[in-house]
Amino acid sequence: MKLLTKTITARLERTPLYSTDGKPASDRQVVARFFNPSGLGTWYVLEGEKHGDDWLFFGLVSLFETELCYFRLSELAELKVPPFGLGIERDLHWAGTLEDAEKENQK
C-alpha cells in the first residue's frame, strides 16, 4: 500500500513541523493515520517535513505506550510485522483531531 498520496503530501506541506505548537488538541487535525494490520501500533501524523527522499513526521504514536514524538516515513515503510510479515497500512477512512486520537487510545 502506498503510504503517502498527493492529497496527504499537499496537507503536509501546509502543516510543516512546529506549525501546530501551542494549539489545543481539538484544533490539531490528524493529517494521516497509519496502523499495523495484525496488532499493536498506530501512528497519527500531525505535522511533517520532507528531508531528502524521506519525511520526518511529528504526531501521536501508540505502541506499548502512547506519546507525542517524531518518526520517519521510511521507518514505517520498512516495518514488516510478525507473524505474517505484513507492512504498515494507511487508514483510508479515519479523520479527526489529536483529541479524537487520544480518546481512541484510552479505550
Mean pLDDT in residue range 49-56: 97
Mean pLDDT in residue range 58-85: 93
What are the start-end ranges of the H helices in 1-107?
Answer: 6-14, 73-78, 98-104
Q: Which three three-digit cell numbers place residue 6?
A: 498527493
User: What pLDDT does 1 receive?
Assistant: 79
Decide if 40 contacts 64 (C-beta within 8 A). Answer: yes
pTM: 0.94
